[in-house]
A and B are shown apart, each in its own frame.
Chain A
Amino acid sequence: MIVQQKQNSTMKKNLNGFCFPREGLATILLRVKLLALLALLYATLGASGSFGQQQRLRDISGTVKEAKGLPIPGVSVFVQGTSVGSITDANGNFRLSVPANAQTLVFSFVGMKGQTVSLAGKSTFDVVMEEETIGVEEVVVVGYGTQKKANLTGAVDQVGSGAFENRSMTNLTQGLKGIMPNLNIRLLDGKPNQSPSYNIRGTTSIGQGGNALVLIDGAEGDPSLLNPNDIASVTLLKDAASASIYGARGVFGVVLITTRNPEKEKTSVAFSSSMSVKSPITTPDFVSDGYTWAKYFAESFVNWEGTYPQAVNKTLKFSQAYFTELERRHNSPLATDKEVEIDPVTGEYVYYGSTDHYALLYKDYELANEQNISVSGSSKTTSFMLTGRYMGQNGLFTWNTDKYEMMNFRSKGSVQVYPWLKIENNTDYSSTKYHNPSNVGEGSGIWRNIADEGHPLAPMFNPDGTLTMSSVYNIGDFWYGKNGFDFRRKTFKTTSGFVAQFLNDALRIKGDITFQKRDNSEKRKQVPVPYSNKPGVIAYVGTTTNDLREILTETQYIATNIYTEYEKNLTEKHYFKLLAGYNYEESTYRRVMAQRNGLIFEDAMDLNLALGQSILTEGGWEKWNILGGFSRLNYSYKDKYLIEVNGRYDGSSKFPADQRYAFFPSYSAGWRISNESFWKVNPDLISNLKLRASYGSLGNGNIGSYNFLETLSITQSGRIFNGVRPQYTRNPSVLPEGLTWETATTTDFGLDFSMLNDRLNFVGDYYIRQTTDMYTIGMTLPAVFGATAPRGNYADLETKGWEISLTWRDKFNLLSKPLNYDLRFTLADNRSIIKKYNNPDKFLTDYYVGQVLGEIWGYETEGFFIDQADIDSHAKQSPRFLTTSSGKIYPGDIKLKDRNDDKEVNPGTNTATNPGDRFIIGNSAPRFMYSFNLGADWNNFFISTFFQGVGKQDWWPSVEAEVFWGQYNRPYNKLPRWHLDNHWTPENTDAYLPRYVSRQNNRTGGILTFAQTRYLQNIAYIRLTNIQFGYNLPKAISSKIGAENVKIYFSGENLWSWSPLYRLTRDIDIENTTPSDQLFTSGNAGDGHNYPMLKSMTLGISVTF
């Protein structure tokens, strides 16, 4: 059992109940609500008064008291299913006329458990209401066990399954984004299979890197392949003390995902189904009118080159004469004008189109659907659960669309063989398929391809139905529909274990063994795509490819744990829990890649049908194993002083023999001040107050398996020798000497408190994480070294951060029905500074001591040059900063400030100590990540909203960020509509953008390739990540179909967002400002050139029998 909710019996001992004379925060709040309730109540009663007269009535009366016998005033007393009712007076008495056929009386009062009493055969009722405990004592999952939340000493956060309910998400990772403070998941793009790694608490290491260790039911797994409906809870172990039981792999935190178990002694079948409509949050608003586009194209081209364009990139001819004709067609169109003409000289097509590529690229919406089934049952000795899920998403593209499918099956079962022994099994099979189209013309992502050759002038098709040369480089390839990637990922995982209990459950021994097999495959097809420049003449792009590539990888993973736990209350005062165990894990990875060209027909999908001689094969192998012994001691004294000591002795094959083993101890302690005898604060005000502190130091085991060995890798040559393309090897990377472990030391201080009768809960942590001896690239060496400087334990990093979460949970009666609601607010921040780095000169091309990670060095944009005199008198700017290819500066060009007054704008020696005219203009690291959750349910209705965002982040639209820069990047790029009246002209001198000159964000030296203040963007944002509302059908209805519960709901993802960037443009979604699609490029094809982030609307129903 993972999340247990137990009634808290101890905390409420001193409660006096609610008496009006007693003043306190709680009572004031109650009064306000009571007044509102009364007003509603009277209105309702008044309305129903005349109706009641016509029925046969009988009188009843009674008293309502709390447990200690004190009367409770203001309790609402209603006949169930009607509006007939009253409230108790100051002495707790009530009197009521009820219909003779009325059966049940309902008593409700805020802060008390509701009661129903049968009316049969009685006319006086003395009711005792019990305090309702709003704060429940949670038990949270920790490493190799569970612990009462109240007794936690480390930094641990947990969410239950509610966080994922009713949401249309293609995988769990996407659903986890933003939910827990300082669990940082950056999605990069909106692909359904996108599942970035999990980061906890900011930059981990600039050396080996490292992410959080993700364990699913105790063994490593891929969260993106999990069925979100199987999740019972997700726990973060954030500080070293909590994570250290997992040793070196847990150095940067652990994410423990636990799946649901069958409900106790109950059999149920649940089915749910949902349908979603999805579409991009934003598509760019680009000018598609051919003439306007061409005008700006030519202007930006001429302004940079000084000559008139002779071509539009490589697919269209351009000339002054051609433009004159375009202008003529625009100003005085003739009926005989056609979009496609034929040049009488060359016989080639000439285009005069106005093509909107993004309108062609995407469907208006795509559909996704999800089906779930779950069957579970249990008796005293056995339990079982079977779950299944299908999720399908049809894809966004008009042609050759991407398509995503995921299937999950899980079976779980346990048998209580003997009273002391339970055997369990948990088996999981998941599979996903994803098709992603690609372009054979240039191979980059579709947005970049549209930027390069998606010229509005060229239509998609020629009159004879062939593709134009422009379109074949982008959408035409999709239309042709043959090229793309097919990804499949499958996981089979089975865990068998036992739990043995002795000595009245004081001693437990648990053991398990997990076998997991992950099979991933990737199939890429590239066939030439035909197009035509001339009627009757077909040419192709991609002629040198025509190939099929398959990559198969297999990862086998075995893990076993055996551990024992002994728990003892020595006397009333001393509590001990001791855990000790052993863990072994082994992972073997194999890879086979084969590629061959010469497909005998273009729909061939098997390598047997590739007959060419360009054959490429690759292998791959990686194996690591680790073992560890771990132990944990918990001690508490009178539930006031809590101490936990963890230790793990770790061994890893990833280290050389003399560094292989290491011991990692950690300590944490808590002080529950509110349990002290001197603590006299009214528990209604502050019911719980705890201070926590922890300290621990862990080695970083997240490293490559063979980093310490000099190896010569083998690759195939791109050249032909003796009739073949031979394999070759070359010099290995330079190995360092005397390496040792990177170490992360975390100090954590925490404060937990609960207020207002546990309605308000606060958890806050402040931490400092020192990552020392980071294994980083050595000092930047002169180029003659001829290799990347060898790595070494050169660097130290300090990350400081904090996170808080604040929850408010309460209920009150609305129209005599309880309204439960809860609010959760989280806020997290972190900031990393380099403390040691092998860069004594502090070159800005590398890390340096004192650097805050993410900082952006740039120039101050002073404005635009006004006239020649202004240019002449300004500090020297050219040729270092180019606003034309010749280096000449014109009015309207960007003027950078000579901050150090040396009469030249320059980067100094490019060091932090002499940065020239640069300074830190911003920071690209996200700060103040927050989320806000509101949930409520009333009378079978429920609603919840989830907002999340980033409070502070800067973005410098980097080189090739075409969606932002448009033709300032390359002249033939798209033209964002917001540029139209927003660039400098002699008439419009206070525009946002400079003189209309292309290449400034493309060529080396182009002035817009340099970060500068004017165009630094604020990409803080807020997003309504989820909103949902739904209705649980009344039992009376659902029972008619034999169901215990029927729920229908609407759920929307990403329906609203706002960012300061949107004041300027909404062409790029805020979460898409990341480097370009990593599937096709290394990310350097322009920020924002990504699969779009999606919004969705879902309708769903779920039925439980």
Chain B
Amino acid sequence: MAAFFTGCDLEQEPMSVASKSSVFGSQQGLDLYAMSFYNGLPSADDIHRVDNMSDYTARRNAPPFLQATGYSPTTSDNTSESGWDLVALGSDWNWGWGNLRNINYFIQNCNDPKIAPDVKRHYIGLAKFFRAWFYFEKVKRYGNVPWINKALDVTDTLMLYKKQDPRTMVMDSVLADINYACQNIKTTSDASKSLVTKNIAYAYKARICLFEGTYRKYHTELNLQNTASTWLTHASDAAKFVMDQNVFKLYEGAGTDLSYRNVFTTITPVPNSEVMMAAIMDLALSVTHAANWVHTSATTGIRFSFIRTFINTYLNLDGTPFTSNPNYQTTIFKDEVKNRDKRLKQTIRLGDYKRLSGGIQVATPPVFTYSYTGYQPIKWCLDDVYYDTRNLNINPISFFRYGEVLLNYAEAKAELGTFTDADWALTIGALRKRAGITGGLTTKPTVVDPYMQTKYFPGISDPVILEIRRERGIELCMEGFRYYDLMRWKRGELLEIEWNGMYVPELNTPMDLNEDGKMDVAFFKTTKPSPAVSGVTYIDVAPTVSGTPNPVRLKNDTSGELTWLTTVARKWEDKKYYYPIPESHRLTNPKLEQNPGW
């Protein structure tokens, strides 16, 4: 009978999956694998929603993270509806580490002698780029984290069960990775704007190093101030490298009124020299995002509304601070938005902003069924109302754009103290010029703007740094930088800032916000004016409505700035500079140290 058995072949090979040798044995295979790295990038919707938690964002509810007991090591990040209360870019939610293994496995196995060494280095460079991405996000969120540079075996208990490595060691490793990527990624340009190239690696290096340099400089409790300048030098050098390539430039093709906005709303980024790498959308391929839906629907998103304190930082067209006007606090909406940095009208609904409805241009004021403050964002939104329902947006959302490179360069140089007038003209000056600002474009400022200093950065006395930070806030708003900018500047307290809105001079008087001759909104206390003016949204600002405290109030009860949700306290504590290590992971590895204060 044994002979009978051996006659039959019981060897079956899988036919619908690839083997390790076929993947790592050809460039095509390496390419196939390298595509998986990109899954570690945030999604388009991640990016345009990250600023949901920032100092300039008034919203439907106070983020639990900013409430006294709203977040703890037992909180899970990505429950269905709480996800957007947190800042996470990529895979760093809930202490996730799966993408790192994927990268490390590649680096370990990309060693087939059949493949040319420079090709292998190119792909390993890509892998290291994404490992740097992975760790940078981890460090930003958690501070010290364990450094793991191989696909671990079950037997690697020392690595598995180690405590966090010091920030210095991890960031040095991140730097080594991004340096390797800069040196070995071969592609320098990518017309599709979807792939990581050498320039992207340098741009990313600048971003990382600026963060780390300023973090070490301002977080004196780390005692790493003396290492800050090295990182800042790396940052400025890397940014300079990109600038010197002359591959990218600020987009100015649509003039001062439209160029800035077009960077975010042009459907195809290819002719746009400013976008360096983006999440590309295409309805035909069923890849879209939901910016319009989120930012025009009263019900879907958090009703992202800019606060007035931030809107006030937009300069006058002549380059002088709006807040130098003695009456700025009592200027009504339709007037305050005039004669301002043209990025304002390319960021929020105001003035003659029109939307396309069924092919017809319709004047569109901010609507108070959406906005809590009057400052309703349009930055990522397409103008045709067709895009408002469900996720239909096809405008790409950038991971990297040249404007940020300029800002990184400027800030690094300024922090180093090596910033010159020429640098100013090349960076901040150029950005302001594109925004239609006429004054102060060629020489760096010499006078501190007291508004920026008192409202935002009391610890900063260098007028250049203050202006660069103003610029960064305005230029990069809603692009996902703000929260971690506040962290590295050690200005978490700004997250407690009052959520204020436009100035309301009196009750019961309808206001025409966009001067199209139609009244838009009126405010009343308890009793709605009668007869109501048709087409006007009436907002009750009484202290209570139906016995419940009313979140919409006016500063002086019957007039003044709108305030939103002062009924719910937001509380900053320094422990929040880092997220807590989730409790379950500390139970699995008791050597993991909880971040201080949690």
Task: Name B281-298 residues within 8 Å CB distance of A.
Answer: 281-288, 297-298
Partner of B154, one of A345, A653, A727, A778: A778
Taking each of B101, B154, B565, which has the highest tally of chain A beta carbons within 10 Å of its own beta carbon?
B154
A980 in the interface (beta carbon within 8 A):
no
Partner of A714, one of B10, B18, B154, B588: B18
In the bound complex, do residue A730 and residue B33 qualify as a contact, i.e. CB atoms below 8 Å apart?
Answer: yes
The segment from B447-455, B467-475, B530-538 that touches chain A is B530-538
The segment from B72-80, B206-214, B258-266, B490-498 that touches chain A is B72-80
B396 CB → nearest A CB, Å: 9
Residue of A nearest to B284 (CB): A613
The CA of A879 and the CA of B68, in the complex, are separated in Å by: 9
Write out the residue numbers on chain B whose beta carbons fall within 8 Å of the beta carbon of A305.
61
Residue of A nearest to B16 (CB): A621
Partner of B536, one of A345, A719, A720, A789: A345
In the bound complex, do residue A721 and residue B38 qualify as a contact, i.e. CB atoms below 8 Å apart?
Answer: yes
Known pairs A582-B4, A625-B10, A728-B33; A321 contacts B540 (CB<8 A): yes
Known pairs A321-B540, A346-B369; A620 contacts B16 (CB<8 A): yes
Taking each of A543, A619, A626, A660, which has the highest tally of chain B beta carbons within 10 Å of its own beta carbon?
A543
In the bound complex, do residue B102 and residue A731 qualify as a contact, i.e. CB atoms below 8 Å apart?
Answer: yes
In the bound complex, do residue A705 and residue B23 qualify as a contact, i.e. CB atoms below 8 Å apart?
Answer: no
Known pairs A345-B537, A629-B1, A781-B160; A307 contacts B551 (CB<8 A): yes
Residue of A nearest to B585 (CB): A783
Interface string of B103-143 (1 = CB under 8 A from A): 01110000000000000000000000000000000000000
Taking each of A305, A542, A730, which has the highest tally of chain B beta carbons within 10 Å of its own beta carbon?
A730
Task: Name A682-723 residues within 8 Å CB distance of B.
Answer: 705-706, 709-714, 717-723
Known pairs A307-B568, A598-B284; A730 contacts B36 (CB<8 A): yes
Q: How large is the interface on A (under 10, 10 to 19, 20 to 34, 35 or more residues)?
A: 35 or more
Partner of A726, one of B35, B104, B534: B35
A780 CB → nearest B CB, Å: 6
B69 in the interface (beta carbon within 8 A):
yes
Task: Name B504-557 residues within 8 Å CB distance of A.
Answer: 528, 532, 534-538, 540, 545-546, 548, 550-551
Partner of B587, one of A307, A627, A721, A909: A909
Write out the residue numbers on chain A whose beta carbons fall within 8 Å of the beta carbon of B528.
321
The CA of A316 and the CA of B546, in the complex, are separated in Å by: 20
A614 in the interface (beta carbon within 8 A):
yes
B192 in the interface (beta carbon within 8 A):
yes
The CA of A314 and the CA of B148, in the complex, are separated in Å by: 42
Write out the residue numbers on chain B whose beta carbons fall within 8 Å of the beta carbon of A660.
10
The CA of A368 and the CA of B148, in the complex, are separated in Å by: 62
A324 in the interface (beta carbon within 8 A):
yes
The segment from A154-162, A283-291, A370-378, A880-888 that touches chain B is A880-888
In the bound complex, do residue B69 and residue A1004 qualify as a contact, i.e. CB atoms below 8 Å apart?
Answer: no
In the bound complex, do residue A1005 and residue B75 qualify as a contact, i.e. CB atoms below 8 Å apart?
Answer: yes
Write out the residue numbers on chain B whose beta carbons fall within 8 Å of the beta carbon of A787.
98, 101
The CA of A620 and the CA of B12, in the complex, are separated in Å by: 14
The CA of A530 and the CA of B401, in the complex, are separated in Å by: 37
Write out the residue numbers on chain A whose beta carbons fall within 8 Å of the beta carbon of B192.
721-723
Task: Name B135-177 residues within 8 Å CB distance of A.
Answer: 146, 148, 151-152, 154, 159-161
Interface string of A535-547 (1 = CB under 8 A from B): 0010111111101
Residue of B nearest to A710 (CB): B20
Known pairs A720-B280, A781-B160; A729 contacts B32 (CB<8 A): yes
The CA of A706 and the CA of B14, in the complex, are separated in Å by: 7
The CA of A786 and the CA of B134, in the complex, are separated in Å by: 12
Write out the residue numbers on chain A whose beta carbons fall within 8 Å of the beta carbon of B23.
712, 729
Known pairs A712-B19, A843-B587; A344 contacts B534 (CB<8 A): yes
The CA of A880 and the CA of B71, in the complex, are separated in Å by: 9
In the bound complex, do residue B10 and residue A542 qualify as a contact, i.e. CB atoms below 8 Å apart?
Answer: no
B487 in the interface (beta carbon within 8 A):
no
B304 CB → nearest A CB, Å: 13
Known pairs A345-B535, A657-B11, A786-B98; A1003 contacts B284 (CB<8 A): no
Write out the residue numbers on chain A whose beta carbons fall within 8 Å of the beta carbon of B96.
783
Residue of A nearest to B35 (CB): A728
Name B's interface SS.
loop
A882 CB → nearest B CB, Å: 8
Residue of A nearest to B20 (CB): A710
Known pairs A709-B14, A710-B20; A784 contacts B102 (CB<8 A): no
In the bound complex, do residue B1 and residue A780 qualify as a contact, i.e. CB atoms below 8 Å apart?
Answer: no
Number of chain B residues close to chain A: CB under 8 A: 107
In the bound complex, do residue A721 and residue B67 qualify as a contact, i.e. CB atoms below 8 Å apart?
Answer: no
A367 in the interface (beta carbon within 8 A):
no
Partner of B95, one of A717, A720, A783, A909: A783
B360 in the interface (beta carbon within 8 A):
no
B17 in the interface (beta carbon within 8 A):
yes
A612 in the interface (beta carbon within 8 A):
yes
The CA of A710 and the CA of B250, in the complex, are separated in Å by: 48
In the bound complex, do residue B195 and residue A721 qualify as a contact, i.e. CB atoms below 8 Å apart?
Answer: yes
In the bound complex, do residue A732 and residue B5 qualify as a contact, i.e. CB atoms below 8 Å apart?
Answer: no
In the bound complex, do residue B76 and residue A1004 qualify as a contact, i.e. CB atoms below 8 Å apart?
Answer: yes
Partner of B5, one of A310, A539, A649, A712: A649
In the bound complex, do residue B392 and residue A782 qualify as a contact, i.e. CB atoms below 8 Å apart?
Answer: no
The CA of A891 and the CA of B592, in the complex, are separated in Å by: 38
B443 in the interface (beta carbon within 8 A):
no
Partner of A712, one of B18, B72, B76, B195: B18
In the bound complex, do residue A544 and residue B390 qualify as a contact, i.e. CB atoms below 8 Å apart?
Answer: yes
Interface string of B179-216 (1 = CB under 8 A from A): 00000000000101011000000000000000000000
B82 in the interface (beta carbon within 8 A):
yes
A1049 in the interface (beta carbon within 8 A):
no
A775 CB → nearest B CB, Å: 15
Write out the residue numbers on chain A whose beta carbons fall within 8 Å of the beta carbon of B100.
784, 786
Write out the residue numbers on chain B whose beta carbons fall within 8 Å of the beta carbon of A418.
none
In the bound complex, do residue B36 and residue A544 qualify as a contact, i.e. CB atoms below 8 Å apart?
Answer: no
In the bound complex, do residue B60 and residue A310 qualify as a contact, i.e. CB atoms below 8 Å apart?
Answer: yes
Task: Name A716-771 residues within 8 Å CB distance of B.
Answer: 717-732, 734
In the bound complex, do residue A780 and residue B588 qualify as a contact, i.e. CB atoms below 8 Å apart?
Answer: yes
In the bound complex, do residue B14 and residue A621 qualify as a contact, i.e. CB atoms below 8 Å apart?
Answer: yes
In the bound complex, do residue B589 and residue A782 qualify as a contact, i.e. CB atoms below 8 Å apart?
Answer: yes
Task: Name A502-544 residues within 8 Å CB distance of B.
Answer: 537, 539-544
In the bound complex, do residue B548 and residue A885 qualify as a contact, i.e. CB atoms below 8 Å apart?
Answer: no
A859 CB → nearest B CB, Å: 14
B47 in the interface (beta carbon within 8 A):
no
A311 in the interface (beta carbon within 8 A):
yes
In the bound complex, do residue A312 and residue B299 qualify as a contact, i.e. CB atoms below 8 Å apart?
Answer: yes
Write out the residue numbers on chain B whose beta carbons fall within 8 Å of the beta carbon of A315.
299
The CA of A314 and the CA of B300, in the complex, are separated in Å by: 5
In the bound complex, do residue B584 and residue A910 qualify as a contact, i.e. CB atoms below 8 Å apart?
Answer: yes
Write out the residue numbers on chain B whose beta carbons fall within 8 Å of the beta carbon of A710.
19-20
Partner of B97, one of A321, A657, A717, A785: A785
Residues of B participating in the A interface, judged by any CB pair closer than 8 Å: 1, 4-5, 8, 10-12, 14-20, 23, 32-36, 38-39, 41, 60-61, 64, 67-72, 74-76, 79-82, 95-102, 104-106, 146, 148, 151-152, 154, 159-161, 190, 192, 194-195, 279-288, 297-300, 303, 358, 367, 369, 388-392, 528, 532, 534-538, 540, 545-546, 548, 550-551, 565, 567-568, 584-585, 587-589, 592
The 7 tightest CB contacts between A and B, nearest first, are A786-B101, A887-B69, A728-B35, A311-B299, A879-B69, A730-B36, A711-B17
A-B residue pairs in contact (CB < 8 Å), sample of 20: A307-B568, A320-B545, A539-B389, A543-B283, A598-B284, A627-B5, A629-B5, A710-B19, A711-B17, A712-B17, A712-B23, A713-B17, A721-B194, A726-B35, A783-B95, A790-B154, A879-B71, A880-B74, A887-B67, A1004-B75
Known: A626-B10, A705-B12, A729-B33. 6 other contacts (CB 8 A): A308-B548, A320-B545, A649-B5, A786-B151, A786-B152, A878-B69
Residues of A participating in the B interface, judged by any CB pair closer than 8 Å: 302, 305-308, 310-317, 320-321, 323-324, 344-346, 537, 539-545, 547, 582, 584, 597-598, 612-614, 619-627, 629, 649, 651-653, 657, 660-661, 705-706, 709-714, 717-732, 734, 778, 780-787, 789-790, 843, 845, 878-880, 885-888, 909-911, 1002-1005
